[in-house]
């Protein structure tokens, strides 16, 4: 979500006449887009912010914009006194405060100089910054902002606000613009992406939106994330199964494998519900890959409860497990009403256990691809090799002198490992 937001800010700044620079010391405007989903991410944001102080001291005219979840939807006043070096605070996914500030300042300067106003943000669909146009093969489109679910560990509803779907027309026109800029693959984003359209009575749901997007010429692949087990409809799964452009890859977090922990997290399903969902996804979408998220060390999680999570992952053998150690987040129910009682070392031990379990599972899944042909969309050259992904989102590297950027090619897998595969063009 932040990556998509940053691209839109960069593109808007370019329309105002700014150009990117790799060096913050040389910038007239610095945008720091922040994440606070875990304490470590928040600490990183503070570290970056203090690294900007010497620049602001040397050049007080530099405009510093703090954006994203550190700002949130209602934190601005508190932050103003805490970070006086920041000129503009922007909530997540909203570049307007910065753009308004720059246009107003620039207009004033021009008027004072007796020049007619010529500085305005044009309407249009230039989503990608100039450097990425014709280069980016894959792009994100946020379709649902915020979340109204309120899992007890999660700060996102407090910082990104209630759930709001974007009108389908906006999504479609952004997708067309991205395709015109060379993009071949689009990933639709939402905290619970399957809830797309629930707040727009006349609009399509996610399944309908995917069908409409699939009609765009030149768009080769469509993905969506993140799903919630309670909101995946059969119709959605059927669109994934039947629409060739929609990739057979589902990101659906389980978070824990023990019912008491799931209830404490207020996830709204049981481990058995999740097990049945995985079974259904696999039945309806042959060859599907499934990714999950897991939090270890949630308040009160006992060794036995953790073992239930371990056993569930060992049983389901999912393609990807994004693992996180629980960290207390302000405002959440878990922070206000529960005790963060699993010691840090024990959280790390549980994390490592799952990590090594998952490494074994993925090594086994990837090994099944050896000598098989798969289809890969190539994105970029990294250290002399072309990097691409299969429809199931598996990372594949190929050595080739051809320019493969943006091409979909058949490849034969020659080597596999836990994190990626190597292949030759078929
Ligand atoms: S559904 Fe996801 S974004 Fe929403 S509160 Fe739960 S974890 Fe956070």
Q: List, for residues 199-221, the tens digit of each pLDDT value.
A: 998 889 999 999 999 999 999 99
* Separation CA 285–CA 19 (nearest Å): 45
What's the rounded mean pLDDT across residues 264-274?
Answer: 98
Query: In the predicted model, is pLDDT for residue 119 greater than 50?
Result: no
* C-alpha–C-alpha distance, residues 296 and 294, integer Å: 6
Q: How far is the CA of 407 from the centre of ligand 1 (A)?
A: 35
**Which protein residue's CA is at the shortest distance from atom 8 of ligand 1?**
154
How many angstroms separate the alpha carbon of residue 161 from the centre of ligand 1?
11
> Tell me, what's the pLDDT at 17?
87
Whole-angstrom Cα distance, residue 352 to residue 358?
10
| Pocket (CB within 6 angstroms of ligand 1) | 147, 149-151, 154, 156-157, 191-192, 228
Q: What is the DSSP pairing of strand 395-398 with strand 385-389?
A: antiparallel
> For the segment 64-92, what is each residue's pLDDT rounded down to a tens digit?
999 999 998 876 777 888 899 999 999 99
Region 279-295: mean pLDDT is 98
Q: Whose CA is nearest to atom 6 of ligand 1?
A: 151
Which residue CA neighbors atom 3 of ligand 1 most closely? Answer: 191
Grade residue 135 by pLDDT with cuts at 50, 70 and 90.
Answer: confident
- Mean pLDDT throughout 323-340? 96
Q: Tell the CATH topology of 2-112.
A: Rossmann fold (3.40.50)
Q: Which of 150, 164, 327 to mutate to test the pocket of ligand 1 (most atoms within 8 A of CB)?
A: 150
Please state the rounded mean pLDDT for residues 103-118. 66
Q: Which pLDDT score is estimated for 126?
A: 58
Query: CA 349, 352, 353: angle at the middle one, nearest 5?
Result: 85
CA nearest neighbour of 251 among 315, 192, 164: 192
Q: Residue 188 Cα, ligand 1 centroid: separation in angstroms?
A: 16
CA of 191 to the centre of ligand 1 (A): 6
pLDDT digits (tens, 9 = 90+) for 246-259: 999 999 999 999 99
Distance 192 CA to ligand 1 centre (A): 7
**Largest CA-CA distance found in the chain, in angstroms, rounded:** 74
- The percent of residues in the chain predicted with pLDDT above 70, rounded, is 95
Between 362 and 120, name the one with better pLDDT.
362
CB 69 within 8 A of CB 36: yes
**Higher-pLDDT residue of 122, 319:** 319
Environment class of residue 91 by beta-carbon count within 10 Å: exposed (0-12), middle (13-18) or buried (19+)? buried
Pick from 35, 147, 298 the residue to mutate for probing ligand 1's pocket: most ligand atoms within 8 Å of its CB.
147
Average pLDDT of the residues in 301-324:
98
Of 151, 265, 292, 294, the residue with max ligand 1 atoms within 8 A of its CB, to mutate for a pocket test, comes to: 151
**Mutate which of 35, 149, 190, 225 for ligand 1 pocket (most atoms within 8 A of beta carbon):** 149
pLDDT score recorded for residue 130: 83
Spatial contact of 400 and 386, defined as CB atoms under 8 Å apart: yes
For ligand 1, the distance from its centroid to the CA atom of residue 133, given in whole angstroms, is 32
Q: Say what the pLDDT of residue 81 is.
A: 85
pLDDT of residue 152 exceeding 50, the answer is yes
Res. 111: pLDDT tops 90: no
Peptide bond into 226 cis (omega under 30): yes
Distance in Å, CA 46 to ligand 1 centroid: 24
- Locate the ligand 1 atom nearest the alpha carbon of residue 267 and give its number: 6
**Cα 357 to middle of ligand 1, angstroms:** 25
User: Three-state SS for 236?
Assistant: helix
Q: Please state the atom number of ligand 1 nearest to the C-alpha of residue 160.
A: 3
Distance 43 CA to ligand 1 centre (A): 21
Query: What pTM does this model have?
Result: 0.93
Which element (helix H / strand E) includes 139? strand 138-142
Read off the pLDDT band of 62 (50, 70, 90).
very high
Average pLDDT for 133-140: 91
What is the per-residue pLDDT for 106? Answer: 73
Domain map (residue ranges) of the chain: 2-112, 373-425
For domain 373-425, give the CATH number: 2.40.50.140
């Amino acid at each position: 979500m932040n990556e998509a937001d940053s691209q839109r800010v960069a593109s808007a700044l370019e329309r105002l006449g700014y150009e990117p620079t790799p060096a913050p010391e040389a910038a007239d405007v610095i945008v720091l887009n922040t994440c606070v989903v875990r304490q470590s991410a928040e600490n990183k944001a503070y570290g970056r912010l203090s690294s900007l102080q010497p620049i602001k001291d040397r050049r007080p005219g530099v405009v510093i914009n703090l954006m994203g979840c550190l700002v949130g939807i209602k934190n601005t006043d508190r932050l103003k006194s805490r970070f006086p070096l920041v000129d503009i605070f922007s909530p997540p996914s909203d570049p307007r405060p910065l753009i308004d500030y720059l246009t107003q300042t620039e207009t004033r300067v021009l008027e004072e100089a007796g020049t007619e106003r010529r500085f305005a943000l044009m309407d249009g669909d230039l989503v990608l910054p100039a450097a990425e146009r014709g280069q980016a093969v894959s792009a994100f489109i946020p379709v649902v902002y915020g979340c109204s679910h309120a899992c007890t560990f999660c700060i996102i509803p407090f910082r990104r606000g209630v759930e709001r779907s974007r009108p389908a027309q906006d999504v479609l026109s952004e997708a067309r613009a991205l395709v015109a800029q060379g993009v071949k693959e689009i990933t639709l984003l939402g905290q619970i992406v399957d809830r797309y359209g629930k707040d727009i009575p006349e609009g399509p749901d996610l399944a309908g939106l995917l069908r409409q997007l699939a009609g765009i010429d030149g768009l080769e692949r469509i993905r969506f994330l993140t799903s919630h087990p309670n909101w995946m409809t059969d119709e959605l799964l059927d669109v994934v199964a039947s629409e060739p452009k929609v990739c057979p890859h589902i990101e659906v977090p389980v978070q824990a494998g023990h019912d008491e922990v799931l209830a404490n997290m207020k996830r709204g399903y049981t481990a058995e519900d999740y097990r049945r969902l995985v079974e259904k996804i696999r039945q309806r979408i042959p060859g599907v890959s499934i990714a999950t998220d897991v939090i270890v060390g949630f308040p009160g999680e006992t060794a036995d409860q953790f073992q239930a999570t371990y056993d569930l992952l060992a049983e389901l053998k999912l393609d990807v497990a994004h693992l996180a150690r629980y960290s207390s987040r302000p405002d959440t129910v878990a922070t206000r009403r529960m005790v963060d009682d699993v010691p840090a070392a024990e959280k790390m031990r549980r994390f490592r256990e799952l990590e090594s379990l998952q490494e074994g599972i993925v090594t086994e899944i990837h090994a099944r691809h050896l000598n098989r042909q798969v289809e890969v969309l190539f994105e970029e050259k990294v250290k002399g090799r072309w990097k691409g992904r299969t429809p199931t989102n598996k990372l594949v590297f190929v050595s080739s002198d051809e320019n493969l950027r943006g091409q979909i090619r058949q490849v034969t897998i020659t080597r596999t490992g836990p994190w990626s595969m190597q292949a030759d063009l078929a």
